[in-house]
Amino acid sequence: MVSIDEINSFCKRKGLVFPSSEMYGGVAGIFDYGPVGVELKNNIKKEWWNSIVHSHDNVVGMDGSILTNSKVWEASGHVDNFVDLLVECKKCGAKLRADHLIEEILKKPTEGLSSKQLDEIISKNKIRCTECKKGELSSVSEFNLMFKTNIGPSGKEFAFLRPETAQLIFTQFKNIVEVSRMKLPFGIAQIGKAFRNEISPRNFLFRMREFEQMELEFFCHPKKKDECDLFDGVKDVSVNTLTAAEQENGAHKLSKKTISELYKSKLIKSKWHAYWIASRVKWYFDLGIRQENLRIREHVSKELSHYSASTWDIEYNYEFGWKELEGIADRTDFDLQQHAKVSKKDMAIHDEATGEKVVPHVVSEPSVGVDRAFLTFIIDAYNEEEVNGEKRIFLKLNPKLAPVKAAVFPLVNKEGMDKKAEEIYKELKKHFPTFYDDSGSIGRRYRRMDEIGTPFCITIDGQTMQDSTVTLRSRDTLEQQRVKVSELVTKINKTLCA
Ligand code: GAP
C-alpha cells in the first residue's frame, strides 16, 4: 500500500493539496487545496449532496455559520466534554495525546479508556516522551479542542469556531421545520467547515485542525425508529463487520454480514439506523472504494460519545491501521432536549401521524470529513504499474469524482491538427471539465492525465483530418478505440452517468 508520506508529496506535486502558508513555515494540520484538488473535493461534496439531499424527498439542506454563540456549546456539552487527554514531557515540554502515544508504543487500542487508566498504562510500561526520547511524562490532563475568538472591539465578547456542523442544525431546527413544512421522519443536511485544536494533527488530511464535514441529522418519532419504508432498497448491502461483543471478546476477525442480518439479529438496533449505515456504505462502494478496505465497527459502550445511544463507524484500512472514516450515531433527543433546557425554548414539534407533540430523536447522524473522504478516495484509487519498462502512476477514480473528465491532444501542432483539437476541446468543455495539452510527447501527456485520474484522453491525428475520427484512450485499460468526433460527448457522458 502506498504510504501516507508518498500520498502527501504526490498531492503536492500534482496540485491537489499544499501545506497552508508554506512560505512562512505553514501551520500543522492546516492545508490548502490546489486547482486539481478543489475539483475533486467539490465532486465529493456534490455526490454526497445528491445522494443525501436530492435523492430523498424528506431531506433538506442548510448552511450555518462558523462563529457561534458560546451558549450553543455549553448546551451541547462541548464546553465540558469535548476534550482530548494530554500528557506533557517534564524535560522538553512536548505535549502529546496520551491515547495516541500508548497506541503508537504498545500497539494496543485505547478507545474509551479514562485518564486514570491511561496514567496507569503509562507508568506501568514506563513510557517516555517520543519527542526527546528521554523525558518523564506528567499525569494525564484534559484539553478542550474548541477554538475561541473575540467578537467585536470590546474584547469582552467571545465565540467558538464550531467544532462540528451538527449543532447549527439543532439550533435552526424549529425554523427549518416551519419553513419547509417537514413531517417526521425527515432529515437536515449540511456541508461546511469545522475547527478542532487537535493536540497532534497528523497523517496528512486524516487529522486536521481546520476541515470540512458533511453531516445529516435524521429525525424521527421516538417510537417509530423501526418504521423505515426505504429499508428494502438497501437490505442486501453486505459489508465487513466488527461488533462490540466481538471486540469485547477479543475477536478481531472480520466477517461479512448483510444489513438485513445485522438488523434482524438486533446488532443494529433500529431500522432507520440500519438504513443510513447501509446507504453510506453503498455510497463508498458505488464510488469505487474497494470492499475489502472498508468495514463497519460498532462502538464498545465505554467509547460512546456523551450524546450517543449507539454508534457504528465506517472504517478504512489505512497504512496506519483500521481507522474511522465516518461515524453514524443514534444521538437520541440529547441535543434538542439540551437546547430546550438551556434556551428555555420549546423544541417539540407536532407529529401529524399521531397528533402528538414530540421532541424527535436523531435516529441516525451520518457524519464524515470531506478531507478524510478525499484522502481515502485517493489512497484507494492510487495505482502504480510498469508499462513498457516505465512506471505508470494512475488514479483509478470513479469518473464522477475525476477532476478532469477528458483531455484533448493534437498529435503535432501542424497540418491543421492543432486547430481541429482546439475545436473539439471547446465543444467538449461545454459538457464536462476538459483539459487541452499540446506540449511534450503523447506518452508524457497521457501520464500527466493518468496521475490526476482523467478517465479519457483524445488524440487528434492525421486520420482525423481525413475522416473526422479520433483515438479515445481509456485510463484504466489503456485501450484505444477509433471514435467519430460526433459521438464523443455521448460516449463520455455515458460513463459519467453510469
Ligand atoms: N457531529 C458528529 C461528529 O462531529 P466526529 O466523529 O467527531 O463526530 C465526524 O466527526 C467525522 O468528521 C469523522 O468521522 C471524520 O471523518 C471527520 N473528522 C473529525 N475530526 C477530524 C479532524 N481532526 N480532521 C479531519 N477530519 C475529521
Atom of ligand 1 nearest to the CA of 163: 4
Could you read off the pLDDT of 420-446 as tens digits, one per residue? 999 999 999 999 999 999 999 999 999
Asked if residue 251 has pLDDT above 80, the reply is no
Q: Average per-residue pLDDT in the chain?
A: 96
Ligand 1 centre distance from Cα of residue 216 (Å): 13
The predicted-structure confidence for 56-65, as pLDDT tens digits, reads as follows 999 999 999 9
Nearest CA to ligand 1 atom 18: 369
Q: The cell 483530418 sits on which residue?
A: 465
Q: Give the residue among 48, 498, 60 at the shortest CA–CA distance from 280.
A: 48
Ligand 1 nearest atom to the CA of residue 367, by list position? 9
Q: Whose CA is nearest to atom 26 of ligand 1?
A: 369
- What is the reported pLDDT for 307? 87
12 forms beta bridges with none
| pLDDT at site 250 | 84
pLDDT digits (tens, 9 = 90+) for 36-78: 999 999 999 999 999 999 999 999 999 999 999 999 999 999 9
List pLDDT tens digits, range 363-384: 999 999 999 999 999 999 999 9
Burial of 114 (C-beta count, 10 Å sphere; 0-12/13-18/19+): exposed
Q: Which residues line ligand 1 (CB under 6 A)?
A: 164, 166, 196, 198, 207-208, 211, 213, 215, 324-327, 367-369, 371-372
Confidence band for 12, pLDDT divided at 50, 70 and 90: very high
CA 10 from centre of chain: 19
The residue to which cell 473535493 is assigned = 41
User: What is the pTM (predicted TM-score) of this model?
Assistant: 0.96
Contact at 8 Å (CB) between 375 and 206?
A: yes
Nearest residue (CA) to ligand 1, atom 11: 368
Residue 165 CA, closest ligand 1 atom number? 1
Q: Does residue 305 surpass a pLDDT of 90?
A: no
Nearest CA to ligand 1 atom 12: 369
| Residue 368 Cα to ligand 1 middle (Å) | 6
Q: 10 Å Cβ neighbour count for 67? A: 11
Residue 201 has pLDDT above 90, yes or no: yes
CA of 161 from ligand 1 middle (Å) equals 15
Calculate what percentage of the chain has a pLDDT beyond 70.
100
Phi, psi for 184 (deg, rounded to 5): -65, 140
CA of residue 351 to ligand 1 center, whole Å = 32
pLDDT of residue 58: 96
Rounded Cα–Cα distance for residues 422 and 414 (Å): 12
Q: Are strands 141-144 and 210-220 parallel, antiparallel or unpaired?
A: unpaired
Check pLDDT > 80 for residue 252.
no
Query: Which of 211, 215, 331, 338 is the pocket-test mutation for ligand 1 (most atoms within 8 Å of CB)?
Result: 211
Q: Place 306 in a pLDDT band, splitting at 50, 70 and 90.
A: confident
Give per-residue pLDDT as tens, 209-231: 999 999 999 999 999 999 999 99
**Contact at 8 Å (CB) between 246 and 300?**
no
